[in-house]
Amino acid sequence: MRSLRGMRRVLLKDRCSIEAASMASASEARKILQSQESNSRSINHPMALRRRPRLKPPKPARRLPQALIIGVRKCGTRALLEMLYLHPMVQKASGEVHFFDRDENYALGLDWYRSKMPLSFKGQITIEKSPSYFVTPEVPERVRAMNASVRLLLIVREPVTRAISDYTQLRSRATPSVPAAPPASHPPPDATKPFEHLAIAADGSINADSDLAVPRVSAPMAGGVPAGEQLLVVNGDLLIEDPVPQLRRIEKFLGLEHKIGRRNFYFNETKGFYCLRNDTTDKCLRETKGRKHPRVDPAVVTKLRRFFVQHNQRFYELVGEDLGWPED
């Protein structure tokens, strides 16, 4: 009996050992299967076979301008360019390139012109300004040959105010301490004479030969481009008085988000116009801007404004907008 009990104990012990071993083996097997399934899922997943691409940082490049600022002297082309440069999506050429209006520059080709442009990222707008583009006959065709959809910002001012401002600048250059301006295609007015003597001839008529008096309403860049499509007329007088509304129109015209606001300007009492402000610095246009105008005989101002009425009307029709300039 004792030996029988001992044998039973041995058999029970062996059975437990076998079952334990069997359970251990099953557990290990499950682990192996789970590991294989996990590996199989990770290997067979379509994304597991692809390497994550390395994103290259965007590189800036020099691009031909998508917009040009045009206008005659003292209309505010420089001020407009600097104001638009406050926008993070705008890059500007640092100086007047005179590519389209000077034969010697145009002969150098588009690669040369591109080399004069700033570095910009994709999506930014490059802008160049050369006021004489507005008055040079060859310019429109040359611009179209570069980019038939280029945007034109034509900035204008009330003609008599502009003429007085132009005279003020020319008079400052006539002093010995100021370097002479580069020679123009025709001699500049003699700014040592009073404004009235340049604008009004000896017989009392308007001096049609004076650059200061005759408007450029027939300038080629203003014709053939419907306003609102590729050409936007910017009121330079309103830009000086309150820049933000004019800049909002331009942002919309260029397809830009509204980023330039009143925080970007402060009024300079000494200069009498708005200066620029961004996140890091304040900036006013150079000392040659904002000169005090000489007093002009009111009777001469009235006579000039009456002379300009018919020319202004032609200009309004040309650009499809009445700017409301004074008529007397």
Backbone Cα Rg of the chain:
37
Nearest to 169 by CA among 286, 29, 266, 33: 286
Does residue 290 have a known ligand-binding role? yes
* Cα dist from 277 to 93, 242, 263, 264, 298, whole Å: 20, 15, 7, 4, 36
Query: Catalytic one among 13, 59, 74, 259?
Result: 74
In whole angstroms, what is the distance from residue 58 CA to residue 121 CA?
Answer: 7
Q: Between 77-84 and 243-254, two packed helices, what is the crossing angle to 10 degrees?
A: 70
The answer for residues whose C-beta is within 8 angstroms of residue 196's C-beta and 6 or more apart is 296, 297, 300
Q: Is 295 annotated as a binding residue?
A: no
Residue with tokens 């004479």: 193
157 is in an annotated binding site: yes
Residue 82, CA distances (Å) to 129, 131, 219, 285 in order: 11, 15, 25, 8
Rounded to 10 deg, the angle between the 159-173 and 298-319 helix axes is: 120
**Would residue 59 show up in a list of annotated catalytic residues for this protein?**
no
270 marked among binding-site residues:
no
Residue 78 is labelled as binding a ligand: yes
End-to-end CA separation in angstroms for the chain: 140
144 is in an annotated binding site: no
Element (H, E) at 65: none
Binding residues for 3'-phosphoadenylyl sulfate: 74-78, 157, 165, 274, 289-293
Binding residues: 74-78, 157, 165, 274, 289-293
Residues annotated as catalytic are: 74
